A and B are shown apart, each in its own frame.
Chain A
Amino acid sequence: MVINMIKELVKEEFNNDLAKGAVLVDFYSKTCGPCKMLAFILKDIDSKLGDKVKIIKVDFEENPDLIEKYNVEGYPTLIMFKDGKEVSRKSGLQQKPVISKMIEEAI
């Protein structure tokens, strides 16, 4: 059984979530077309990769502290973390192979 690993940000858990393993953080906006498209792609990736990677969605408008902390300049922005450290980042809508490659390099 594949475990769904996409979750909306829970601030209290964020540091713990990041600390271990491969975590892909999706900074998105509800008013952004590319973000909506990206959500479908991430869902598809998640259904295939399951618990190999956690995917955390961070609402750009509602989390200015994280936007500043991670120097996110726009949405959608994907940041790949491994054991708490940023290993890659992509801004704008990305194709599935590009995102898969980001994840594979972090797993």
Chain B
Amino acid sequence: MKKNIGYEFKEHLVHKQAKAEAAMLKEFSQGQYTMEAPLIKYNPYFVNDLAAVMLFRTEEEVAITIRVLGKTKEADFYHTFPKGKEHIIPIVGLYSDYENKIEVYPYQKYNQKVVHTIKTPEVAGAKLVESMDTTPEHMQDNVIFLCPAVNDLAIAVDYAGDVRLNFTVPMVWDVKRMPNGNILIGSERLMKMPYFVSGIYEMSPVGKIYKEYRVPRGYHHDQITLPNGDIVALNCDLENGTVEDQAVVIDKDTGHVKRTITFSNFIKPGSQKSGSWSDEDWFHCNAVWYDVNTNSLTFSGRHINAMVNIDFDTEKLNWIISDPEGWPEEYLPYMFKPIGEGDFDWQYEQHSNLITPLGDVMCFDNHHFGAQNPDKYLAANDSFSRGVKYRIDTDKMEIEQLWQYGKERGKDFFSPYICNVLYYNEGHYLTHSGGVAFDGEGNASEELGPFAQIDDPSVTLESITVETINDEEVLELKVNSNYYRANKFTLYSKDGNNLTLGTGQLLGSLGETPQMDYDIPAEDSGEILPDKHEARITDEVDMFTFESKFEKGQLVMLLLESDKETRRYFISTSKGKRGAMCTGTFLPDDDRDTRTVISKEGFDGDYQVKVIVDDKKYDTGITIRA
């Protein structure tokens, strides 16, 4: 048999990083590296190509201060590392295509400073920034971190509009800084098309991954850390044929699922349908928030135009913020009546809900479709998006709109998908409209950015991040792409280690990939899957990916045959568009491409990979090992 199926074993990033780190430390141990002549490793963790690690020894035990010199003094990033004789220092905040200067000196001994140069190549994200309008006094040494929504990967932008972090792998979904200084962000390991990934990385901005919290049945959109350190992550109820309608509570130490919260237990599917609703994606949860004062969780359901609050312990429904039109009567007691003299608009297809320390509820109101009733839907050109803050009274069930930003900008600020708001203090908010798209004639696109970009080359994408203090704009960042969310933080954490050595951990499990419980009758062709399908398999430690081209409408099934069992996985060749595409980062250019990921959970021994196409069964010549 001809062997023509591509096969590659792809190391998990934590293992690849561990090897690279060990090699770096070995090189360090074998050389006489000093502060004047250190070992410098550019992008040693393969993730951030505007980062490096500097290694040297000092005779005395000293703390070391480093200053990554900016193009202006206000753009410097600096940090002092703890006392020691061996110094392994992460360097972050480099510029693209630039001879970066790094000042290094023992703490408080500025006269001993030495300056090292790190020349960087031009990186992909550096040309995306259109404008940054703010002041160094406002931004200080913070950056705006942008999470991907299309093919452009994560970047971080300083006060001057320069890119100072550029990820080289598609880590996606929300980014949050942890109390220990590390960040949490979704992994790049696609589990299920179009955007469900294997889990959440805890990592340092230099690129080092400490943990992957694997999330059964695929992680998406958002997570939040509970006061005890456990993580609530969003996933899917695949067993019931639905997606984006579950959350899991993950143990902070083991990564194991402690609890599963299934949304159909408190909202009946189909009770409300936004313009993007589908039977499979009936809730489309895109945000989770934990409120310590009420011990409650709030979930943002884009496809029910609602923010839903439940008791954390009992999972009983507390309240729903939604335009009440069209909701079944049983939910009306949980809904609010608008009050107040000022403007009031309900939110539609919102994202990113949060509860402020004063108990007010904020979200990014995409205002997509702008109504419950399809007869009143707004066209994109007539729409707006905004950040909004509501005050709720849960005794009187009244709601008042306290603040909004964005409605006045009309279609220029309209994002039909993604986006977020952040609360810094009363009157001080960030509003990120990251999904703006215009067609070649300047009309707001009716299509979501990732689709619009593929379908029409004349489409332009924009991401607009605005910070306001008492309604005054103190920052506006425009980037020529779509970005899922924005967050603001310093690249050097003042509280954390910034770099901890050692092999990262894979925690928890991916869960079993649901199998088809029915066999397709097919004749064994005795042949390898033909070349025209361009099939290839990428094997990993805990899953593998089968990629291949099939024509629309072909009946395709992946079979894993061992001497003990046959596992069957259906491959959809349907080309239907989803009503949601909150990160199009993994979308293929060719709509014949299929990508099927199988978790190895439950595997026992070796499996021959075979493929049924219509009524014929083909071999691949590939064996997958548990």
**Using a CB–CB distance below 8 Å, which chain A residues touch chain B?**
29-34, 36-37, 40-41, 44, 73-74, 77, 89-98
Contact = CB atoms under 8 A, between A and B. Distances in A.
B469 interface: no
7 contacts: A33-B555, A33-B556, A34-B570, A41-B517, A90-B280, A91-B280, A94-B241
A59 B336 CA distance: 44
Contact of A95 (B278, B280, B517): B517
Given A29-B553, A31-B553, A74-B576, A37 B516 contact: yes
Given A33-B553, A44-B518, A90-B280, 11 more contacts: A29-B553, A32-B574, A33-B572, A34-B570, A36-B553, A37-B516, A40-B518, A40-B520, A41-B517, A77-B279, A97-B517
Contacts, number: 64
B490 to A, nearest CB: 44
Contact of B555 (A37, A44, A96, A98): A37
B516 A33 contact: no
B278 A96 contact: no
Interface of B: 239-241, 270, 278-280, 514, 516-520, 550, 552-557, 570-574, 576
Contacts of B570: 34, 37, 93
A17 B519 CA distance: 30
Nearest to A42: B518
Contact of A91 (B239, B279, B553): B279
Interface of chain A, helix or strand or loop or mixed? mixed
A104 B254 CA distance: 39
A73 B278 contact: yes
Contact of A36 (B278, B279, B555): B555
Contacts of A74: 576
A92 B518 contact: no
Nearest to B555: A36
Contacts of A31: 552-553
A102 to B, nearest CB: 10
B279 A96 contact: no
A105 B550 CA distance: 36
B555 A92 contact: no
| Top-4 shortest CB links A-B | A31-B553, A33-B573, A91-B279, A36-B555
Nearest to B571: A33
A73 B270 CA distance: 15
